[in-house]
């Protein structure tokens, strides 16, 4: 757990430092997204499309996986 938190702190510190450096050069996130051909609205639409595709597939898969998991849990030998 400590390693995970250390990684999160390192990534956060590096992000803040890089963001400050880019801000000093007057570069914004909107500028970078526009150069990549993306807008915040387009990213939001892509996220909605991803959920619209993933959710029905997750439900369909869980119709099979959850009962199989329950059966395997019931058939597992007792511990101890």
Q: What is the pLDDT of residue 16?
A: 96
Residues of the chain with pLDDT > 90, as a percent, come to 70
Break the chain down into helix, strand, coil percent, rounded to 5.
80, 0, 20
Question: Residue 67's pLDDT is what?
Answer: 95
Report residue 33 as tokens: 């997204």
| Burial (Cβ within 10 Å: 0-12, 13-18, ≥19) of residue 53 | exposed
Q: Which helix (H) or strand (E) holds 65?
A: helix 40-75
Asked whether the predicted pLDDT for residue 64 surpasses 90, the reply is: yes
Instruction: Indicate whether 75 pLDDT > 80.
Output: yes
Virtual torsion, Cα 9, 10, 15, 21, nearest 10 deg = 120
- Model-level pTM? 0.53
């Amino acid at each position: 757990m400590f390693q995970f938190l250390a990684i999160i702190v390192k990534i956060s510190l590096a992000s803040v430092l890089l963001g400050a450096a880019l801000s000093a050069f007057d570069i914004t996130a909107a500028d970078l997204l526009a150069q990549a051909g993306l807008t915040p609205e387009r990213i939001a639409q892509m996220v909605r499309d991803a959920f619209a595709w993933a959710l029905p597939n997750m439900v369909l898969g869980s119709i099979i996986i959850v009962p199989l998991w329950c059966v395997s849990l019931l058939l597992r030998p007792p511990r101890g």
